[in-house]
A and B are shown apart, each in its own frame.
Chain A
């Protein structure tokens, strides 16, 4: 039995063609890359489009490369591609780590990181790594190109700053000029196949700076400048990490749902923050960062 909703399908071979189609259909067209979210949503009757634009024929969207000190990750890059990319391993260890925890291998082979941030479900694994790395989302439309800073990208649960006539081409991540190391922590019931109940990303820099982001503990993932400033001004120590853990209560707003209670999420976010800090502190001391 087919999906009980009808829609059209088109597979453009150039970005220009895809942009024109998105401009024509506006929000009545949805962009298909991996489809692990999109096909599920359509099956459930959630935001069924008139037209599906399959962008898998646009090869320029599948690049992972460094251009002018910026790491570029295209819209067709899957989590499995990220796990196999030496460029990612060498330059964005926290994304490599987080990508390995997304669903299962069979989903990672198909699901894209850009799809993850476009679906923007609050428990997504890509957000914390992109937030701590101060990524920029690049979109294209008939009106031209647009850049949105990742902290402005997530508007609400399942809602982003994308416009109806746009599609996302890639994200860019500035490669820091000082040494750095990231760490990602994800709370789930069992490894290999689960959504996060809470997640934490930290990025430490050799100059004492540090970036911290939380996911699945509010409608949107969140970076906390308050915690970062505390750790930066007082220095990272056992005492300041304890102080920061207390501060987390004022930063995140977890809810109780079928997967965890808000109290458990709050408690575990503090624990995971401490673990992530410890892991990142160990990693930054290594001559070469090893991430599993």
Chain B
């Protein structure tokens, strides 16, 4: 058991973890941050996406012990002070149905908008290609991202 200290949505957190504990489970079960979801548990579906040091990663493929000293952002951090413009656009369009993919999808779009403020449709498709969704058909998600990035 080792102590790790990291930033989570702007707050410094310290927690004891074993080397065989996966970040996704520590976030959900030990800390209570529930937006990252377990879908495939093997890095394919993107439901467990979190942002570490500005980059989206698969929290199901990261050992919790690896994030010592890192800066983690989840959907809870993005909507800390109310819905983000992207979340509002998604909400207005009633994009999501079951919503399981939504946190990962929003984080992938957030990373994209940080790197490319005015992305092309191709950029958007590339950015969310690793976030699998069974409900939306993707088109309304892409439209919402286009709408928000045009406004900015």
Residues of A within 8 A of B (CB): 1-9, 11, 32, 35-36, 39-40, 42-43, 52, 54, 56, 80, 103-107, 109-110, 191-193
CB-nearest residue of chain A to B60: A39
Also in contact, A104 and B129, with CB within 8 A (given A3-B22, A9-B19, A40-B43):
yes
B43 → chain A, closest Cβ, in Å?
6
In the bound assembly, the distance between CA atoms of A110 and B70 in angstroms comes to 14
Q: Is the CB of A54 within 8 A of B130?
A: no
Chain B interface mostly helix, strand, loop or mixed? mixed
When distances are taken between beta carbons in the complex, the residues of chain A under 8 Å from B147 are none
Also in contact, A2 and B18, with CB within 8 A (given A35-B62, A56-B66, A80-B55):
yes
When distances are taken between beta carbons in the complex, the residues of chain B under 8 Å from A191 are 129
A287 → chain B, closest Cβ, in Å?
25
B16 → chain A, closest Cβ, in Å?
13
B74 → chain A, closest Cβ, in Å?
14
In the bound assembly, the distance between CA atoms of A193 and B60 in angstroms comes to 17
Q: Is the CB of B20 within 8 A of A36?
A: no
Contact of B42 among A4, A6, A40 (CB under 8 A): A40
Total of A-B residue pairs, C-beta within 8 Å = 91
Q: Is the CB of A106 within 8 A of B46?
A: yes
In the bound assembly, the distance between CA atoms of A11 and B56 in angstroms comes to 22
Q: Is the CB of B61 within 8 A of A36?
A: yes
Q: Is the CB of B44 within 8 A of A193?
A: yes
In the bound assembly, the distance between CA atoms of A104 and B20 in angstroms comes to 25
In the bound assembly, the distance between CA atoms of A52 and B20 in angstroms comes to 10
Q: Is the CB of A105 within 8 A of B127?
A: yes
CB-nearest residue of chain A to B48: A106
When distances are taken between beta carbons in the complex, the residues of chain A under 8 Å from B130 are 103-107, 192-193
When distances are taken between beta carbons in the complex, the residues of chain A under 8 Å from B41 are 43
When distances are taken between beta carbons in the complex, the residues of chain B under 8 Å from A110 are 55, 57-58, 61-62
When distances are taken between beta carbons in the complex, the residues of chain B under 8 Å from A1 are 25
When distances are taken between beta carbons in the complex, the residues of chain A under 8 Å from B20 are 2-7, 42
- Return the 5 tightest CB-CB contacts between A and B, nearest first: A104-B130, A192-B129, A9-B19, A3-B20, A109-B55
When distances are taken between beta carbons in the complex, the residues of chain A under 8 Å from B43 are 36, 40, 103, 106-107
Q: Decide if B63 is an interface residue (CB 8 Å cutoff).
A: yes
When distances are taken between beta carbons in the complex, the residues of chain B under 8 Å from A8 are 19
User: Can you name 22 A-B pairs with beta carbons within 8 Å?
Assistant: A1-B25, A2-B20, A6-B20, A11-B68, A35-B61, A36-B43, A36-B58, A40-B42, A40-B43, A43-B22, A104-B46, A105-B108, A105-B111, A105-B129, A106-B49, A106-B56, A106-B130, A107-B43, A110-B55, A110-B58, A110-B61, A192-B125
Q: Is the CB of A109 within 8 A of B125?
A: no
B115 → chain A, closest Cβ, in Å?
9
Q: Decide if B132 is an interface residue (CB 8 Å cutoff).
A: yes
Q: Decide if B65 is an interface residue (CB 8 Å cutoff).
A: yes
